[in-house]
């Protein structure tokens, strides 16, 4: 397969560096352009980026010159660009992504803008890869040949992966409490004086994103694939910043429409697979969800890099402590068989950001949406 030329906008930040990890040597995409903010334009990538991804900065990437973040700069540097990966702050992404799609380019973006627009797919390939069909409506509605595909918010990504295989049991109500790593706020996001020895009980706009995007992710396409009918469950989130570097850990309290068998629930989680696994996409983990029976797992430090093969490290979510809910009264304990509780962990800059976007681009390419 001939590789498609790609640009990476916002290449120097937390998410941008993870994109480089996944795109360097990629079998489908060749990274030809890197951009950042004006303070870094004209520098080599080595000079511009404070590298914090495991392993060395790839040598040829290190020598690339960082360009201005604009369609003109990208076009001038690489007139054959077809695919654009975006790791920009939402405000800047909003203006750039529209221009990129109008230029006929295919945008795969970590940024939060546009996620709730009806004709813009928000994709976790194993959960709702079929929502890529929205791209036909998007191209009709917006009269462009390019496309915009979004990643969901990093906090809902792991939870949606755990909830998807449970949807056939009838999801009625979900309560989610998150313990989110500092890297989720970006390189300059949280000061050490704020977070060391501390937990911050509020992350601006996070709960709204989680609550809305979950319903779109787990919803179904309407008849003419022009929009998604949101899932009808109630989902309520409380989001918290904790002093870990990477990995968002979540406690989920799930109520079903009816009683469920705990073994069947566990089997559904364990056997969960999607189209990326069927197609053996380059960034697909063999198993997107790993179930642990160890009551002390998943742990952020030990489990955030889960996923095999090596290329897919951090692409698997880990679920543990799957148990029935229970209630106590003076006269004893009642097991609530229509409710379960579990703990879920996923890597926020990998599955919650750049790894997921690259996997989505692979799926879109293989299914003929990109070219
Ligand atoms: N971190 C996560 O876990 C995570 C997860 C999911 C989604 N996201 C999303 O991914 C995006 C990037 O997040 P991040 O954590 O990587 O942030 P970050 O570490 O602050 O990096 C931001 C990147 O955008 C560039 N940039 C900033 N302002 C710009 C401007 N006005 N014009 C051009 N480039 C500009 C920066 O370049 P300079 O280095 O030159 O400033 C840098 O490359 C955000 O939309 C975020 O919400 C992040």
**Cβ of 247 less than 6 Å from ligand 1:** no
Q: Is residue 26 flagged as an active site residue? A: no
Looking at ligand 1, which atom is closest to the CA of residue 181? 3
Task: Give the pLDDT confidence score for residue 183 in this predicted structure.
Answer: 94
The conformation of residue 166, written as its DSSP 8-state character, comes to G
In this structure, which residue's CA is closest to atom 47 in ligand 1? 111
Task: Give the pLDDT confidence score for residue 213 in this predicted structure.
Answer: 98
In this structure, which residue's CA is closest to atom 21 in ligand 1? 13
Task: Give the pLDDT confidence score for residue 318 in this predicted structure.
Answer: 98
Task: Give the pLDDT confidence score for residue 73 in this predicted structure.
Answer: 98
Structure tokens of 264? 């069947």
In this structure, which residue's CA is closest to atom 29 in ligand 1? 37
Q: Count CA atoms within 13 Å of residue 144 on its CB side.
A: 18
**Cβ of 122 less than 6 Å from ligand 1:** no
Task: Give the pLDDT confidence score for residue 371 in this predicted structure.
Answer: 78
For the chain, list residues with pLDDT below 70.
Answer: none
| Of the candidates 3, 26, 21, 2, the residue with the CA atom closest to the CA atom of residue 11 | 21
Dist. CA 272 → ligand 1 center (Å)? 32
Task: Give the pLDDT confidence score for residue 1 in this predicted structure.
Answer: 79
Report cis status (omega within 30 of 0) of the bond before 298. yes
Looking at ligand 1, which atom is closest to the CA of residue 109? 10
Q: What are phi and psi of 14, to 5 degrees?
A: -60, -50
The sign of the torsion formed by the CA atoms of 358, 362, 363, 369 equals: positive
**Cβ of 274 less than 6 Å from ligand 1:** no
Torsion of CA 275, 276, 279, 285, to 10 degrees: -140
Task: Give the pLDDT confidence score for residue 149 in this predicted structure.
Answer: 98
Structure tokens of 234? 């109630």
Q: List Cβ neighbours of 127 (8 Å cut-off, separation of 6 or more).
A: 160, 161, 164, 217, 218, 274
Q: Is residue 136 flagged as an active site residue? A: no
Length of the chain: 371
Task: Give the pLDDT confidence score for residue 238 in this predicted structure.
Answer: 98
> Torsion-angle region of residue 67: left (phi > 0), alpha (psi -120 to 50) or beta?
beta
Catalytic residue (one of 154, 231, 239, 347): 154
């Amino acid at each position: 397969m001939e590789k498609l030329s790609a640009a990476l906008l916002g290449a120097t930040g937390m998410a941008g560096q993870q994109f480089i990890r996944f795109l360097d040597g990629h079998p489908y995409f060749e990274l030809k352009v890197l951009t950042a903010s004006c303070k870094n334009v004209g520098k080599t990538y080595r000079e511009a980026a404070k590298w914090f991804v495991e392993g060395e900065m790839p040598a040829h990437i290190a020598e690339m010159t960082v360009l201005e973040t604009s369609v003109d700069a990208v076009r001038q540097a690489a007139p054959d660009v077809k695919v654009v990966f975006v790791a920009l702050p939402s405000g800047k992404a909003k203006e750039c992504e529209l221009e990129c799609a109008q230029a006929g380019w295919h945008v795969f973006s970590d940024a939060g803008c546009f996620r709730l627009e009806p004709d813009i797919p928000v994709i976790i390939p194993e959960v709702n890869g079929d929502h890529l069909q929205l791209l036909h409506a998007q191209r009709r509605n917006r009269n462009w040949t390019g496309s915009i595909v979004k990643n969901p918010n990093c906090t809902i990504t792991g939870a949606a992966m755990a909830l998807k295989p449970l949807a056939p049991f009838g999801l009625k109500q979900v309560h989610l409490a998150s313990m989110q790593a500092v890297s989720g706020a970006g390189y300059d996001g949280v000061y050490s004086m704020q977070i060391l020895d501390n937990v911050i009980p509020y992350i601006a706009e996070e709960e709204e994103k989680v609550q809305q995007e979950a319903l779109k992710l787990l919803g179904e396409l309407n008849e003419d694939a022009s929009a998604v009918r949101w899932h009808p469950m109630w989902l309520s989130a409380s989001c918290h910043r904790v002093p870990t570097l990477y990995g968002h850990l979540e406690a989920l309290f799930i109520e079903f429409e009816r009683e469920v068998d705990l073994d069947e629930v566990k089997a559904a989680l364990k056997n969960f697979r999607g189209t990326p696994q069927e197609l053996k996409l380059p960034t697909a983990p063999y198993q997107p969800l790993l179930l642990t029976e160890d009551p002390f797992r998943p742990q952020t430090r030990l489990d955030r890099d889960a996923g095999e093969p090596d290329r897919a490290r951090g692409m698997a979510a880990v679920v543990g402590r799957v148990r029935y809910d229970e209630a106590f009264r003076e006269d004893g304990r009642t097991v609530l068989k229509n409710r379960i509780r579990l703990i879920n962990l996923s890597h926020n800059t990998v599955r919650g950001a750049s790894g997921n976007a690259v996997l989505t681009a692979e799926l879109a390419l293989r299914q003929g949406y990109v070219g």
